[in-house]
Structure 1
Amino acid sequence: MLKQQAEIIADYDKKNKQVSADIAQTKKIIDQLSLVRIGLFLAEILFFVLLLQSADDDLRTLIQLALLAPIIAFAFVVRRQSKLDREIDYKKQLLWVYQNEWNVLNGAANGYDHGQAFESELHPYTSDLDIFGSASLFALINRCSTKSGNNLLAKNFAEKSARDQILLRQEAISEIREKIAETYSFRANLHGYDPNKIEQIKVQLKHQLGAQLEFVKSSFLRFYVKLVPYISIGLILAALLVSAAFWKILAFLFVIHTGWNVLLGSKINKVFYTFGGSSNLLNGYASAILWTENQSWKSSYTLSLLDSKIPVSKEIKSLSKIIQNFDARLNLLVGGVLNALLLWDLKCCISLDIWYKSSSKDVISALDHLGDFEELISLATTAYNQPDWVFPVITDQFALATTHIGHPLINEQVRVDNDFHLEGKPTVDIVTGSNMAGKSTFLRTLGINMILAYTGAPVCAKTMQLSVFSINTYMRIKDSLNESTSTFKAELNRLKMILDNVVKDKDTFVLIDEMLRGTNSRDKYLGSKVFIQKLITEKTPALFATHDLQLADLIIDHPETVRNFHFDIQITEGEMKFDYLLKHGPCKTFNAAILLKEIGLTLD
């Protein structure tokens, strides 16, 4: 495994260096073009000086024609330079994507969102199993730049899935893992943009734009806007070739057009403000959608995400071009001239209305589905980066069996893997052991891998077979000053939630770490005993970690439904050593006496 992952890391490093070299080379070309632009500007000045000094003859005519050459060449160079600037922007994002994968595999933090917004102590398991937030499963897995992608990944981590859906997702994630080299460009095209901007555009397309464009539906307005370029050009030619009086007519027309534009300004602004400046963003999203359209998908889950019969990427490119034209109004001088001559803003609004009627529904759907692809790619990227992880077998029969299962958030160099399996029927498994011996970590290891399994992703294990459970946990119970809730009251609230869920959903699986810490030892034992008996009555499988050895004796009264496991310590010359391996039976060795002795207290 180490050799495989070492090769993956080396490949990311190679890609980093290659893209960095490409960026440096492109920058060099841009610098050269900048010098060419300066040269063309100086050439234009030279021709202009020559024009002023020339006589009224053929040479003067030749110089006048020559004045056009630097302008044409300058426009070509600017266009070429703009294209290279866009290439650099894309390559910088691609470099970020590769560097981020290298960082994650070398133990650094993932640069994507960690999912703090989804944290909730009231959820049945996400807080206890470190699903969201810093150093969480979400922080390890997430590769989503869009809000919809982040929300979907969070939803699949937090909600129960049906077996059929899990199997379909496994197929889709496996397929994308085989195309992983092609997914980096998809991610680069989406990264680096404000996710709120595309959400605003989606809201406007879904709910607002149609009504906002009502003012351009007049047949007269559309006819006149289409006609006005010919009127303006005709008046200019007439003024040059026939009579200077036509300049006055053109000036009057300028005033009329400018006034018309001012009167409709508030309506035009409503249309523009959401879209304005988003041309590059839309081009990036169009490129990402084009990638999804160009793949030869086979999995039915992925194919269901491509529900448009037209190439949506082209439609978004068309929208981007309209917005790029619309952005001319941001330059007051250029926008003013274009509106006076051509009613430019109205022309763009009409183009937007035509586009909206023909393409908006497909585009909205495709933009929404980008999040679906991001979420699948997140899980597929982890599957690729962790070649020793396996896709679990999801069965419709009661089961949970795994070998060499480890915690995905613990570095493999220090991680200890364990084997575990349930019997053919539900049992309550009591896990005893010393502090720091590994009880809590094992419960979280089992739970977090089950969550991974239910998303369709591979798990951190050699083998795993399980049915679909509703996971409920009781681990990190806190008091709340804001809600005037003591630890004991918070524990009771959690127990009630679990009991309610156990009654409602017979496929519940419970993980409990040291129940009722906030009360005395007698009530703690009795409460734990009654709770375990309730789980047995409801036939609910559970792992129950505790320091209370008396609970291990429940196996006497319930030999068929209670099992004992433990994590122990080895004491060598007064020093404790932990192997973190799960063993059968109750624990016999505890470390409290040793720890107390180290601070000067001795137990008889």
Structure 2
Amino acid sequence: MSTINPQVNSIYTSKIDGVSEQIEQTKKLIEQLSFVRIGLFLTEILLFVSLLNSNDDSLRTLIQVALIIPIFIFAYVVRKQSKLDLEIDYQKQLLWVYQNESKILNGEENGYDSGKKYESEAHPYTSDLDIFGYSSLFALLNRCSTKTGNDLLAEKLSTKTTIDQILLRQEAVKEMTSKIENTFDFRANLHGHDVNKIEQIKSQLKSQLAQQLHFVSGKFLRFYVSIVPYISIALVISAVFVSAAFWQLLILFFLIHTGLNILLNSKINLVFYSFGGGSTLLNGYASAILWTENQEWKSSYILNLFDSKIPVSKEIKSLSKIIQNFDARLNIVVGGILNALLLWDLKCCISLDKWHKASSNDVVSALDHLGDFEELISLATTSYNHPEWNYPVLKEEFTLKTENVGHPLIAENIRVSNDFEVEIKPTVDIVTGSNMAGKSTFLRTIGINMVLAYAGSPVSAHSMSLSVFSINTYMRIKDSLNESTSTFKAELNRLKMILDNVVSDKDTFVLIDEMLRGTNSRDKYLGSKVFVEKLIAEKTPALFATHDLQLADLKEDHLDTLRNFHFDIQITKGEMRFDYKLKHGPCKTFNAAILLKEIGLSLD
């Protein structure tokens, strides 16, 4: 589907090798630390055995002190190993990002979403122009891991916009392309996480958390939870150094706390299970947001994505820390002790409530805007991968002119490019030609590059200038068993949609490939004729591909408003050859007789 650019592909290959080496080095470090942990464990056992077998009081005191040292070292090693585990997870995601780019360049499937869920035959052009789904434009462009990013990219490829907005987006995509080396880290931090989990967290922050945390709003409860650690420490010290009677008081203290936690458990669970296990995900998102905060952006489109004057990445890190602490309850033993001693779950709920009141709005907005950056990065990465593509020029006046425009979903080694230009006023352009000569591909080439242009992306052409049109297409008309719709009825529905749009939006551009296939040849011609004349009357520009040469004859009645183009066929020693080049005038050579002869049927 894509094209191998040797220079860009070489860069990705080098990146893949570099990250793969980093992963191997990190794995070795983790393995070494695992051996250190085993060694510390064995050392602790050896010291404990020595303590039991020693009769020397001085030596026993020394061993007791020494027993503490491996514990502290062990705790440090575990923490270090946990950081390395997170690092290797990140490195694996970065490796996936580079490998995916290499695969796309080599014509393999993009590992990101293909956008199949956005497919709609009712849309004015997305189905006919292969905008969504497998082997689609969306599948070529998409580099979004978040739901917001995917939705935004789909919106930009399917919604009409203004020249001003397109120009702002072009500026943003160009700036993002200049920072492309750093965007891979951004994407690695977002990839591999549970998309539904972050949407759940965002929903929780927006509308549910405040109400769920209402049970910890009481002043006495907050005060008591804040002094519980000091009471617990005082009771333990008293039990050890003052009187054994304090142990009984400490046990009663534990039982009261345990009962309180059981009483509030359903409310605590409601809060926890919306966030539990999300600390790693939030750390990744915080790192991605930190990247956006650390860049010196210049384009106004990107600068407008920042709603907060404070570093939101720090606020997300704080939330991640609270959730990480909250996750301690997942360990029954540790969670039980922490709740008995410190009312740990309630402490986490109170911390979460304080955080929510101070920071939630900024964080939700920043999490949403990650999708904006992903969507721009999608276009910027495609631009980086295809340096031969060029940014179109947008104009207010009626314009569509392109040189060497090719279909972006066809590999460059087999792609044939064409030039095309409209007149200074709208015309209906009839494109005739043989089967397989390139009519349909040409219409889709023009349409899909217009979609790219309106998204703010470079296009697959040496140059392109155009005004903003509402694209309407009529190409792949299907019947529907579910809706009891015949092909002809489906065609009529599509024609009505186009006619309604032509009347309501005078900037409509129509692409039609072989109209009224579901009826007889006479009605087909008459219907096509009146439709062409309707477009002419409405001053609607159109490309109209057809096998019906009679439509080309309409030129005689519409000298200034209808033009003829064709794709022809060359026959050499009975073999067909196509050059897929657009030429002026109606087609003179067709291949139906040759194709029929190949299956044993001859036309006189």
Q: Residues of 2 paired with 1:271 and 1:3: CA distance?
A: 49
2:543 is aligned to: 543
Contact 2:3 2:107 in 1 (8 A): no
Contact 2:339 2:345 in 1 (8 A): yes
SS of residue paired to 1:539: coil
Q: Which runs of structure 2 are paired with 1:491-510 in the superposition (5 Å)?
A: 491-510=491-510
Amino acid at match of 1:465: S
2:122 is aligned to: 122
SS of residue paired to 1:28: helix
Amino acid at match of 1:285: Y
1:442 is aligned to: 442
2:330 is aligned to: 330
| Structure 1 runs of 4+ with >3 Å offset | none
Q: Deviations over 1:199-249 (max 9, x none)?
A: 000000000001111011100000000000010111011000011110110
Contact 2:3 2:411 in 1 (8 A): no
Work out whether 1:431 is the aligned partner of 2:427.
no
Give the unaligned 5+ runs of structure 2.
none
SS of residue paired to 1:335: helix
Q: Deviations over 1:253-274 (max 9, x none)?
A: 1110000011111111111101
1:592 is aligned to: 592
Question: Deviation of residue 3 (structure 1)?
Answer: 12
Question: Deviation of residue 58 (structure 1)?
Answer: 1.6
Amino acid at match of 1:314: K
Amino acid at match of 1:51: L
1:168 is aligned to: 168
Contact 2:431 2:544 in 1 (8 A): yes
Q: Which runs of structure 2 are paired with 1:194-343 in the superposition (5 Å)?
A: 194-343=194-343
1:517 is aligned to: 517
Q: Residues of 2 paired with 1:526 and 1:476: CA distance?
A: 21
Amino acid at match of 2:217: K
Q: Deviations over 1:94-143 (max 9, x none)?
A: 00000000110011110000000000000000000000000000000000
SS of residue paired to 1:484: coil
287 and 19 in structure 1: CA distance in 2 versus 1, 3 angstrom threshold: same
Q: Residues of 2 paired with 1:503 and 1:50: CA distance?
A: 95
2:152 is aligned to: 152
Question: Deviation of residue 5 (structure 1)?
Answer: 2.3
1:570 is aligned to: 570
Question: Deviation of residue 51 (structure 1)?
Answer: 1.0
SS of residue paired to 1:22: helix
Q: Residues of 1 paired with 2:551 and 2:398: CA distance?
A: 25
Question: Deviation of residue 59 (structure 1)?
Answer: 1.3
Amino acid at match of 1:32: Q
Identity of aligned residues (%): 75
Q: Residues of 2 paired with 1:49 and 1:194: CA distance?
A: 47
Contact 2:430 2:564 in 1 (8 A): yes
Question: Deviation of residue 345 (structure 1)?
Answer: 0.1
1:179 is aligned to: 179
Q: Which runs of structure 2 are paired with 1:402-417 in the superposition (5 Å)?
A: 402-417=402-417
SS of residue paired to 2:209: helix
Contact 1:4 1:387 in 2 (8 A): no
Q: Residues of 2 paired with 1:171 and 1:51: CA distance?
A: 72
Work out whether 1:554 is the aligned partner of 2:554.
yes
1:583 is aligned to: 583
Question: Deviation of residue 4 (structure 1)?
Answer: 9.6
Q: Residues of 2 paired with 1:89 and 1:493: CA distance?
A: 52
Work out whether 1:193 is the aligned partner of 2:188.
no
Contact 2:110 2:139 in 1 (8 A): yes
Question: Deviation of residue 570 (structure 1)?
Answer: 0.1
Contact 2:403 2:461 in 1 (8 A): yes
Q: Deviations over 1:59-80 (max 9, x none)?
A: 1111111000110000000011
Amino acid at match of 1:399: T
SS of residue paired to 1:158: coil
Amino acid at match of 1:149: G
Q: Deviations over 1:288-325 (max 9, x none)?
A: 00000000000000000012100000000000000000
Q: Residues of 2 paired with 1:537 and 1:361: CA distance?
A: 53
Q: Residues of 1 paired with 2:568 and 2:404: CA distance?
A: 18
211 and 3 in structure 1: CA distance in 2 versus 1, 3 angstrom threshold: closer
Contact 2:434 2:590 in 1 (8 A): yes
2:534 is aligned to: 534
SS of residue paired to 1:390: coil
Q: Residues of 1 paired with 2:134 and 2:335: CA distance?
A: 47
Amino acid at match of 2:237: L
Amino acid at match of 1:54: S
Q: Which runs of structure 2 are paired with 1:66-81 in the superposition (5 Å)?
A: 66-81=66-81
Contact 1:115 1:132 in 2 (8 A): yes
1:390 is aligned to: 390
Q: Residues of 1 paired with 2:536 and 2:460: CA distance?
A: 30
Q: Which shifted more, 594-603 or 568-577? A: 594-603
Q: Residues of 1 paired with 2:271 and 2:467: CA distance?
A: 51
Q: Residues of 2 paired with 1:482 and 1:530: CA distance?
A: 31
Amino acid at match of 2:30: I
Q: Residues of 1 paired with 2:423 and 2:542: CA distance?
A: 12
283 and 3 in structure 1: CA distance in 2 versus 1, 3 angstrom threshold: closer
Q: Deviations over 1:533-579 (max 9, x none)?
A: 00001000000000000000111000000000000000000000000
Amino acid at match of 2:530: V
Contact 2:3 2:106 in 1 (8 A): no
Give the unaligned 5+ runs of structure 1.
none
Q: Residues of 2 paired with 1:61 and 1:601: CA distance?
A: 106
Q: Residues of 1 paired with 2:59 and 2:380: CA distance?
A: 69
Contact 1:282 1:317 in 2 (8 A): yes
2:131 is aligned to: 131
Q: Residues of 1 paired with 2:302 and 2:364: CA distance?
A: 18
Q: Deviations over 1:3-24 (max 9, x none)?
A: 9921110010000000000000
Q: Residues of 2 paired with 1:3 and 1:95: CA distance?
A: 21
Question: Deviation of residue 56 (structure 1)?
Answer: 5.8
Q: Residues of 2 paired with 1:110 and 1:93: CA distance?
A: 15
Q: Deviations over 1:325-358 (max 9, x none)?
A: 0000000111011000000000000000111111
Question: Deviation of residue 55 (structure 1)?
Answer: 2.3
Q: Which shifted more, 389-398 or 50-59? A: 50-59
Q: Residues of 1 paired with 2:40 and 2:443: CA distance?
A: 71
Work out whether 1:106 is the aligned partner of 2:111.
no
Q: Residues of 1 paired with 2:174 and 2:261: CA distance?
A: 55
Q: Deviations over 1:480-518 (max 9, x none)?
A: 000000000000000000000000000000000000000
SS of residue paired to 2:5: helix
Q: Residues of 2 paired with 1:50 and 1:368: CA distance?
A: 59
Amino acid at match of 2:357: K
1:5 is aligned to: 5
Q: Residues of 2 paired with 1:123 and 1:561: CA distance?
A: 28
1:601 is aligned to: 601
Contact 1:142 1:150 in 2 (8 A): yes
Q: Residues of 1 paired with 2:191 and 2:562: CA distance?
A: 51
Q: Residues of 1 paired with 2:187 and 2:373: CA distance?
A: 10
